[in-house]
Structure 1
Amino acid sequence: MTLRILHYADLEDTYDDPKRIGMFAGLIDVLRDENTVIVGAGDNIAPSGLGLLTDGHQAIELFTRIEPDIDTVGNHDFDYGLETLFSVINSAPQRWICANAYAHGKRFGRNAGIVPWTVIERAGYRLGLFGLAHPNTDMSSPEARSLSFTDPIAAAKEAVKALKNEAVDLIICVSHLGKSKGRSFSDDDDLARAVDIDVILGGHEHGAPRIDRLAETLLVRTTGEGKDLSELRFTGEWTVKHHPVTHCTIDRTIERRFHELHERAGLNEVVATISDPIVQSTETRYLGESRLGNAITDAYRWKTNSDVGLQHSSGIRGTTLQGVVEVADLVSLLPFDMAVVRTTVSGTTLYNMLASGGEIVYPSNPNYWHLHVSGCTVTFDDTQRRVKEATVGGVAVDPSTQYTVAAPENFFCSFDCPSNEAQSFGRQHEVLAEYVRENGLDPELEGRIKRT
């Protein structure tokens, strides 16, 4: 018999597109049979616009329909809090596995049914599966700060030893580590080199599908965001194929159900109609000034009457805006339970904030820029990694002057800004929607960010 594994990860804003989620469910129906194991690799509860408004419980609708076997916890699965995460896990059909998360010295989620590893028998094979969360989850996800995440390689070695004692035929890691060369933590590549694993089913990275072999380990990753599925087949040897969700029949039942959820959540309200598409892509997020970044930061500055509006690039999600723009589209762009806040900073601190757009360097992406701005301009020397010039309202930033700055609340955490002095103005997507209703949506490029 042929063992088949269907693998996905990082569904995230799939929940904001009823057609895409219908295609995703339809593709699983087409590919699965009685010898199939369906595996998710984290971030399949959050973030999404719909998830923000349903506290993550929209995921139960999909899970109940596709009936996965296994999932692990991604960093964003904590976005709506531990109580919500446990509620979804308790209502979902799949077994949740994670071997490197702890709460107060005990394995995280054990009372909710999360286990470090498990064994599944399918197609005549005993499969040993264990899960790994990103080791920086407690730093990147505020709701996970009470937890600790141990070294993934040490956790993997413990899991593999235990599974070998269970006489399994194949060992599979369900990983939310990603591939992160040059950073301070172990990733899927390090894991493959260090531990005897047959397959690593990966998540966390978007837009980088993978089928690769390293140190006798098969590494597989999907594109993410419900755009494709990985199909693995084993008959003594592995074969792998990525299936785009566009090549299948839509599951109309799940599509209709998500249309209903959108309508109930008020996401179908039309707030603008645009003739010139506003592109959302890796390039527009991470290479400098963009029309979308300008619109978002203009909204923050407008709502808060601040001197400057700022938005970190990684906090923008969603897809290109075109034609009719609904509230759902705006929530998808900013799908986090995060308020826009205003605080007062010195010119020196503002300089540091602007410099952070270029000072962050991902070794695999040294050309990335990590900030969008309104009310100010910044000229950054990419060679020397420093701000050459910065202005607010057309006047050079004065280190001794105080400036009001509006940004998502977590933006200020890195700059020693007193939280008790910050004033909140509502969730990000609410501020953006209010701005669009009042001012329309037609941003332009204005030379706000220059990189030399």
Structure 2
Amino acid sequence: MVANYLTKLALFAAFVANSVSAGCTAERDATAHFQVLSYNDVYEMSPDSDDSQYGVLVGGPSRVIPIAKKLRQNFENSLVLFAGDTMAPSLWSGQFKGLQMIEAHNALGVDFACLGNHEFDFGIEGFLNVSVASKFPWLNANVYEAATGKLLRGTKPYDVKIFNSPTMGSIKIGVFGVLYDMQDTSLSLTWTNPIDAANAVAKTLREQENVDFVIALTHQNIDDDNTFSSKVKGVDLIYGGHDHTVQLQTNYGATFLKSDTNFRSIWISDIKYYAPVVVNTVKKNAFSKMSHKNLQITGAMPTDPTFDGKINEYSDKIAELFKRKVGSLCAPTDLTKNLVRKSDCPIGHFFTDALMNFYGKIKPNAAIMNGGGIRTEKVWPAGDITLGDIISWDPFGNIITIIETNGDSLKRFLVNQLQGNCGDNVINANGQYTHNAGFYFDFKCTGPSTGELVTAKWNNIIGDDIQDTDKVTLAFSDFLKGLFNNVKGTTSKDIISIREGARFEVVLEAYIKLQEGNLVCPNSNPVRGIVHF
């Protein structure tokens, strides 16, 4: 299947090239022909979902490895490029610090990679461990270590690839990478402007390295890539990351492409390069012809048996790590749905307090957790708790985000959530029940699925009223953020986006480590919220 696809791609590329050239007065043969496989934002070794469902985008590196291998076999001039973000967040990354994903990139035969924001989830030292394990260079033209003012260790600003193929021609390709300014001093890093850095390194590649073709690897939002595409000179093609969606944009300057997350899709580019020539004393400039195919990775595609074995090895390791003790409960703690889905309770306080205390660079003044996100339906006894235990408390792999909003939007969201608890003169055990930190609320049910917010105060029941215009920095899960965005009249802007956040079990474990002796003693005093008729 993969072989047939690559053969068809080559024939399609030839057709496109001939079609584009039709009518040219001085058509000439391409100087060089090369292929690029690219991807970005990959965190999971295993497929995303059930691969027995035909056509579902399951992703996973094991299905991409055979494609990369076949590409190398069929095309002497070929590159595999990775546009950043791999060390986190995932369940396995929390334990292996991203090193398991380097196994995937190495198996894919990556030629060059750029940095993503999640490359620093475990600090500079965590990235250095990853860079040492990588069988490819990390390209970085604009991230520096604050302590030394020098380029981040384990990276280089650019690299050059030279192809000399008797069948596909000769070409010298320059590749560099940039990362958006994360504006996070806690990482002990500094950033220069990606556009300024890119213009400088592209000039170096053109004028000093004398390359024929320049590829930029970027990790930034689509708006930044649009600006980058129009303002950076000397770049022929851009492969980007960070948005987690498939994109091909050509409106602003150099074409840029982005893939879906977790190998759900990859790009394969077919590129023909035509060197400058002189015809009848007239110089004709260099140019390129490109076609790009977004290849969706489904369960029908074959996997790589060797890498499947590697996945099984890590699965066995994680099963053992789930037994690792992370702390202790000082008293029996109720996680039954009849409690967590209808009333203020100790475990709800623990979850939301953890949200308030995770991101050191930003201190939220409010946090929310839905009762339906707290699972296991049991009363946990006092005693040791393991990593597997806290994962079972919230098993959904949610990412913790922070937004900036206002008091009016917060109250609208509370009403939208809490009215689900209003039954026919009874408080329903509904997953929408809102556990919270940083504020107090009183919600009165006035009928089935309807009610009103009687009181919303900062900190506690005797705090100041939350005004509509108050600035709210709210921490909650990506699941709740999606619900928040759908409530009419709410406004917000991302402070910690879904693409930058950490998984819930990482947040919980970090909060446990903050407790003296790692002893967890959830309590519900004072009460933070009440739903009643």
Q: TM-score, normalised by structure 1?
A: 0.63
Q: CA RMSD in A?
A: 4.6
Q: Which has the higher contact order (CA 8 A, sep 6+)?
A: 1
Find the counterpart in structure 2 of residue 255 from structure 1.
308
CA apart distance, 1:267:
8.1
Question: How far apart are 1:148 and its partner, in Å?
Answer: 0.8
Question: Quick one: structure 1 residues 301 and 52, their matched pair in 2 at CA, closer, same or farther if it must change by over 3 Å?
Answer: farther
Task: Tell me the distance in 2 between the aligned counterparts of 1:239 and 1:305.
Answer: 54
Q: Deviations over 1:324-347 (max 9, x none)?
A: x995996671468x9xxxxxxxxx
Cα distance in 2 for residues equivalent to 1:299 and 1:161? 62
- Local SS of the residue matching 1:126: strand
Residue 242 of structure 1 corresponds to 294
Please say if residues 24 and 227 of structure 1, whose CA atoms lie closer than 8 Å, have aligned partners that are also in contact: no
Q: Paired residue for 1:303, among 347, 350, 354?
A: 347
Equivalence for 2:162: 121
Q: Is the 8 A contact 1:97 1:116 kept in 2?
A: yes
Partner in structure 1 of residue 177 of structure 2 = 131
Q: Which residue of 2 aligns with 1:58?
A: 100
Where 2:37 maps in the other structure, the secondary structure is strand
| Mapped partners of 1:328, 1:227: distance in 2 | 26
The structural deviation recorded for 1:392 is 4.1
Partner SS state of residue 36, structure 2: strand
The answer to whether 1:10 aligns with 2:41 is: yes
- Please list, as runs of the form range in 1=range in 2, the aligned pairs for 1:126-165 lying within 5 A after superposition: 126-136=172-182, 138=184, 142=186, 144=187, 146-165=188-207
Amino acid at match of 2:254: T
Q: Which runs of 5+ in 2 are unaligned?
A: 1-31, 52-59, 274-288, 323-338, 356-363, 370-387, 415-431, 445-453, 464-472, 478-492, 494-503, 511-530
Alpha-carbon spacing, 1:25–1:191, altered in 2? closer, same or farther (3 Å): same
Q: 1:195 maps to what in 2?
A: 232
The answer on 1:391 being equivalent to 2:441 is: yes
SS in structure 2 of the partner of residue 375 of structure 1? strand
> Separation in 2 of the partners of 1:239 and 1:328?
46
Are 1:174 and 2:217 counterparts? Answer: yes
Contact preservation (8 Å) 2:48, 2:262? no
1:193 to 1:62, Cα distance in 2 relative to 1, 3 A: same
Pair 1:26-2:66 in alignment: yes
Q: Which residue of 2 aligns with 1:48?
A: 90
- Which digits, 9 at most, give the CA deviation of each residue in 1:17-65, with x for residues without a partner? 5973321323322333432111100002222111111111112221231
What letter is aligned with 2:441?
T
Deviation at 1:306, TM superposition (A): 6.0
The size of the alignment, in residue pairs, is: 338
**Cα deviation 1:295-346 (Å, max 9, x = unaligned):** 999999652546968979xx99xxxxxxxx995996671468x9xxxxxxxx
Work out the CA distance in 2 between the residues paired with 1:173 and 1:152.
11
TM-score (normalised: structure 2)? 0.54
1:106 aligned counterpart, secondary structure: coil
Structure of greater Rg: 2
The residue type equivalent to 1:10 in the other structure is D
Asked if 1:37 is matched to 2:79, the reply is yes
Q: Percent identity?
A: 22
Q: Does 1:354 align with 2:410?
A: yes
Native 8 Å contact 2:145 2:189 kept in 1: yes
Gaps spanning 5+ residues in structure 1: where?
A: 181-186, 270-294, 317-324, 339-348, 359-371, 378-389, 415-424, 432-447
Q: Quick check: 1:375–1:392 contact (8 Å CA) kept in 2?
A: no
Give, in angstroms, the shift of residue 135 of structure 1: 1.2
Paired letter, 2:410: L
Query: Alpha-carbon deviation of 1:158?
Result: 0.6
